[in-house]
Structure 1
Amino acid sequence: MKLNLVNRIFKILILTSLFFSCSSDLDFDQANDLKLEPVFVANLAYFNIPATQLANDGGTQILFDVQEFNAFKDSFFRDNLVKAEFDFEIENTIVRAFRVEMVLLDANDQILERDSYSVPAYSGTPNIIKYPTEVFENDRLDLLKKTVKMKFFVIMATGPALDQNSVGNLKLRSSANVYMEIE
């Protein structure tokens, strides 16, 4: 009997506590102050050139590739972009030195920017180079927003002759970190 009475009192106290709550005025104007700052990471460019594709008598050689760069066709993306960072990593296992150039072109194929990366010849030790981050802000970001094509040049320096039996590869990996501000 006492247990039943204690049980009832406990239930009554629990139920009455449910009727007491805290509340405050809701401020829906806070939605006007909302500011989103997303960061996106994306692959920018990649290539893997085997030494057999570079067969020559030891002289210089130039290869190039052109890629469409449609990132800024969308006005939402273009208008809300505040910063971009490009990271480049090149691995060379070929006994020749290289220079890799990235050229940003506008709609009229005019050069907006040219960045060059020296790659030493492979000498038997790991040859992976991480280059300083290319940061695009302010005026440089405005140039990037005009980019519609990216052209990559691979310039091979003079050195030992390469043939169909040559070993090694030249690999480029790059990524972009894109910072946006949406209000």
Structure 2
Amino acid sequence: MKSHSLYRIFGTLILLLVLSSCSSNLDFDQINDVKLKPVIVTNLAYFDVKSSQFITNGREQNLIVAFSEFDAFRDSYFRDSLKKAELNFEYTNTINRAFTIELIMLTQNDVPVYSIPFNVPAYTGVDNKVIKIDVFENAKLDVFKSTVKIIFSIRMGPGPAINGGSLKLRSGATIYLELE
């Protein structure tokens, strides 16, 4: 009998604790203060230029690879929400010549607004990667947002006759948004 009344006392105490727990009024206006900050990682550009593409009619040539349109910023909501962008580039050269590569960003009227130069050394038998990151924030971000075309200008440096290989680019973008 004693254990039954002991259970009854504990049960009553637990019930009182549950019923007298703390609570507060809900503030549904907090939804207006919510800021989402998604991060998007995407591919930007890729190419694999074979050494034979630098030779035309038996003569070595410079090569220009153009990406005619870059329409990421046509959507004004995306453009206004963009707070930061990081462009990542990785070049791998297996050609026995050095290269100077320039990424050129153009406006709607084909006016260059920004360029990113790369010096890629000649292949000498060991891994030959060039990695570069360019960060766009504040005023530099506004320049990036005005970009509608991207051109990669590739100039081959002097050296011995080309003996095979390729020049590869892998690039991506990390986009930081703020949505309200």
User: Could you tell me which residue of structure 1 aligns to residue 21 of structure 2?
Assistant: 21
- Aligned twin of 1:173: 170
Query: How far is 1:58 from its partner?
Result: 6.5
Question: Which residue is 1:46 aligned to?
Answer: 46
**Residue number in structure 2 paired with 1:123:** 124
Aligned residues: 179
CA distance in 1: counterparts of 2:59 and 2:159, whole angstroms: 5
> What is the aligned partner in structure 2 of residue 107 from structure 1?
108
1:137 correspondence with 2:137 = yes
Q: Does 1:55 align with 2:52?
A: no
Question: d(CA) in 1 for partners of 2:68 and 2:61?
Answer: 24
> Which runs of 5 or more residues in structure 1 are unaligned?
none
Letter of the 1:126 partner, please give it. D
Gaps of 5+ in 2: none
User: Which piece of structure 1 moves more, 106-115 or 94-103?
Assistant: 106-115
2:155 maps to amino acid: I
Q: Any residues of structure 2 matched to 1:26-37 within 5 Å, and which?
A: 26-37=26-37
How far does residue 12 in structure 1 lie from its aligned partner after superposition? 4.3
Do the aligned residues in 2 keep the contact of 1:88 with 1:175 (CA within 8 Å)? yes
Counterpart of 1:22 in structure 2: which amino acid? C
Displacement of 1:14 in angstroms is 3.8
Where 1:122 maps in the other structure, the secondary structure is coil
Amino acid at match of 2:79: R
Secondary structure, counterpart of 2:74 in structure 1:
coil
CA displacement at 1:116 relative to structure 2? 1.5
Q: Which amino acid aligns with 1:150?
A: I
Contact 1:97 1:121 in 2 (8 A): yes
8 Å Cα contact 1:59/1:158 also seen in 2: no
Residue aligned with 2:43, SS: strand
**What is the identity, as a one-letter code, of the residue corresponding to 1:105?**
L
Report Cα offsets for 1:16-53 as digits up to 9, x if no partner: 44322210122233222222222222111111122233
CA RMSD of aligned residues (A): 2.2
Normalized against structure 1, the TM-score is what?
0.84
Rounded to whole Å, the distance in 1 between the matches of 2:117 and 2:71 is: 22
Do the aligned residues in 2 keep the contact of 1:58 with 1:159 (CA within 8 Å)?
A: no
Aligned to 1:82: 83
Report deviation, 1:181: 2.2
Aligned to 2:96: 95
**Which piece of structure 1 moves more, 41-50 or 10-19?**
10-19
2:72 is aligned to 71
